[in-house]
Amino acid sequence: MLAEAAVDTAPSAAERVQQRWDRYTKADHEVWQTLYARRMEQLATTASRIFLEGAELIGLAPHEIPNLKEVNKRLGPRTGWNAVPVGGFLPAREFFASLSNRRFPTTVTIRSREDIDYVPEPDIFHDVFGHVPLHSDPPFADFLQRFGQAATMARTPDEVEMMARLFWFTIEFGLIDENGTPKIYGSGLISSSCDAANALGSNCDRRPFSLDAVISQSFRIDRLQDILFVVDSFEQLYEAVDLVVERMSI
């Protein structure tokens, strides 16, 4: 998380890793196929239409792991975003600096079949399936870049915590109202059937999004979420980041 950030002065990890798509095995592609089929069956009725349209726009296929070069050919002309390969977690400041340049650090490994239900670290299913379809939507794309810019400005512990909570309750576990019905868009919900079911179930307190409410709400990463927030639009998120910047001691 942001609180564990360290400035990395070495060359960007995104510049040291390549996706060698031809090296994925049949077993690798079968893991993608299983995960894709499981999630899309449920997401057809529970996900934001923006995610569903985005998955089609960037060319996600049910039968094979995405080739980032092909994804970027579709994504770049729409919003200027690109998915760039990395080997795993980046230092927080480097991650957010990448976002500020419309470059999304994307893990290129995929989980094993033995760990198909859960892995603690990101993999290509979480990163591409969970995150990248939203990057094809201009309002969300603008918000995510603005978030990256703001996150690199965070200096004090309070500012770091404020950005961590905003990230958690939007980019990872966000909900959006579509015609009076909450739909999921956060990557943690998109890529996890258990978290998604909880988010839309009776045990989760879904509250209208407001910046003050979000940055006042603590969270735990090791349990299902008790409280989540529903935005009216992604433009609302962009406005929230501007308010965050106004509160920073820059």
Which positions are annotated as active-site residues? 126, 131, 172, 191
Residue type at position 32 = W
Task: Tell me if 138 sits within 8 A of 79, measured CB to CB.
Answer: yes
| Whole-angstrom distance, CA of residue 131 vs CA of residue 52 | 12
Q: How many Cα atoms within 13 Å fall on the side-chain side of residue 164?
A: 18
From the list 201, 202, 195, 237, the residue with the least C-alpha distance to 219 is 195
Task: Tell me if 224 sits within 8 A of 194, measured CB to CB.
Answer: yes
**Integer-rounded Cα radius of gyration of the chain:** 17
Q: Which residues contact 10 (CB under 8 A, 6 or more apart)?
A: none
Q: Which residues pair with 175 in a beta bridge?
A: 184, 230
Looking at residue 148, what DSSP letter applies? H
Q: How many Cα atoms within 13 Å fall on the side-chain side of residue 200?
A: 22
> Do the bridges between strand 82-86 and strand 181-184 make them parallel or antiparallel, or are there none, so unpaired?
unpaired
Give SS3 for 47: strand
Q: Which residues pair with 70 in a beta bridge?
A: none
